[in-house]
């Protein structure tokens, strides 16, 4: 037992978190209180959707740095599991190392479409919105999606329906798609005031004017909350709603100008970690994320654009530590493909 604890201490002592309000060393992390996601016990069960990982590519090449990434860290005694089936996607060969989902189930996916059109307050009717779900329905069914419609739900019913959907069985489906179309805003009660929340917070309206945060919707699909058959499968969310009251009116001297470029477009924002989560740093070799970024750019800048390279970076984060995981994010705001080399 003492030996086991010592081993764990060694495992934890090597990484640090880029966070101010906790002790640096992860020894101090309350890891004993972490819940064990039950889904992990089902590993190796029916998993028809896998993604092709460049894992082996990376393992077979020496890391650019001369310093080992996890010096003194004993490797987990669990074997590194490989995916059950690997199948090439029909893409250009130079893209074959990009992590890509492979869909081999009976149906391509299952979609939940919630369209709120008629509100308790009749002035809020979203005229024209019916056409959106009709058109989406046609397009998605043609692709091979099983489509479920729910229109005009209250906030409570929206969340309830989303929960049922995330807990339904996806063994015969490769993609989960949730589309919610309604009014929306970025407001929150703060004391006696209603304020706009900074940083991307969005809530979407039920027909009874009850709001559901889009994050609450997304969180129904973490592996603790969703059906185990969704593990490793793509979970796509599309929110058609307002996110505040600002609008991009492009005006010049009271005469309309057709703006070729939008005012807030062309922005890509990449974070080393998920909202709410810590970000790991090795006290000798630097942060996992920036180190992977350097490595990937050096190897792949002639082949891939920046977002593709960020997918490779995220894939590398899976292989940094036997106990800790880190998921990176990037947000495109009207961002086009951007290669990191000159065209002339």
Q: Cβ of residue 56: shortest distance to a second copy, in angstroms?
A: 13
Q: Cβ of residue 266: shortest distance to a second copy, in angstroms?
A: 5
Q: Which of 13, 100, 152, 220 binds a second copy (CB under 8 A)?
A: 100
Q: Which long-range contacts (CB under 8 A, 24 or more apart) does 295-298 make?
A: 295/63, 295/64, 295/65, 297/340, 298/64
Judge whether 211 and 158 are in contact, CB under 8 Å. no
Measure the CA–CA gap between 50 and 111, rounded to whole angstroms.
19
Q: Please, which residues have CB within 8 angstroms of residue 44's CB and are 6 or more apart in sequence?
A: 81, 84
The total number of residues shown for the chain amounts to 344
Task: Name the residue among 278, 272, 344, 332 with its Cα closest to residue 305.
Answer: 332
59-98: contacts with a second copy (CB under 8 A): 65, 76-78, 80-83, 87, 89-92, 94-95, 98
Q: Which is nearer to a second copy, 164 or 224 (CB)?
A: 224
Q: Which of 3, 21, 60, 62 binds a second copy (CB under 8 A)?
A: 21
Give the residues across from 175 on adjacent strands.
109
294-333: contacts with a second copy (CB under 8 A): 294, 297-298, 301, 305-308, 310-311, 314-315, 318, 322-333
Q: Which of 182, 212, 309, 316 binds a second copy (CB under 8 A)?
A: 182
Q: Is 118 in the site for a second copy (CB under 8 A)?
A: no
Q: Cβ of residue 330: shortest distance to a second copy, in angstroms?
A: 5
22-51: contacts with a second copy (CB under 8 A): 22-24, 26, 29, 31, 34, 36-37, 40-41, 43, 51
Give the residues across from 179 on adjacent strands.
113, 238
């Amino acid at each position: 037992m003492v030996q086991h604890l010592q081993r764990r201490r060694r495992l934890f002592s090597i990484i640090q978190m880029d966070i101010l309000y906790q002790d640096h060393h992860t020894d101090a992390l309350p890891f004993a209180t972490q819940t064990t996601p039950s889904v992990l016990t089902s590993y190796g069960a029916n998993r028809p959707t896998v993604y092709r990982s460049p894992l082996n590519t990376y393992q077979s090449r020496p890391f650019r740095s001369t310093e080992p990434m996890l010096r003194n860290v004993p490797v987990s005694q669990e074997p590194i599991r490989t995916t059950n089936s690997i199948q090439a996607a029909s893409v250009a060969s130079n893209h074959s190392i990009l992590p890509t989902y492979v869909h081999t189930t009976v149906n391509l996916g299952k979609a939940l479409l919630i369209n709120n059109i008629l509100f308790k307050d009749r002035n809020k009717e979203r005229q024209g919105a019916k056409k959106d779900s009709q058109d989406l329905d046609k397009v998605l069914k043609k692709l091979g999606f099983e489509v479920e419609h729910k229109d005009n739900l209250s906030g409570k019913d929206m969340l309830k329906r989303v929960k049922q959907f995330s807990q339904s069985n996806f063994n015969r489906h490769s993609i989960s798609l949730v589309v919610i179309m309604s009014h929306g805003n970025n407001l929150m009660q703060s004391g006696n005031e209603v304020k706009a929340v900074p940083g991307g917070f969005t809530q979407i309206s039920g027909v009874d004017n009850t709001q559901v945060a889009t994050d609450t919707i997304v969180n129904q699909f973490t592996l603790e909350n969703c059906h185990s058959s969704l593990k490793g499968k793509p979970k796509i969310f599309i929110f058609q709603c307002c996110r505040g009251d600002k609008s991009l009116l492009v005006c010049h001297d009271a005469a309309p100008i057709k703006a070729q470029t939008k005012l807030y477009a062309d922005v890509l924002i990449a974070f080393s970690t998920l909202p709410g989560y810590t970000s790991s740093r090795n006290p000798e070799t630097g942060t996992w994320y920036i180190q992977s970024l350097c490595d990937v750019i050096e190897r792949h800048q002639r082949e891939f654009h920046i977002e593709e390279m960020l997918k490779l970076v995220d894939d590398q984060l899976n292989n940094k530590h036997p106990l800790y995981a880190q998921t990176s994010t990037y947000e495109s705001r009207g961002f086009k493909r951007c290669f990191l080399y000159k065209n002339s």
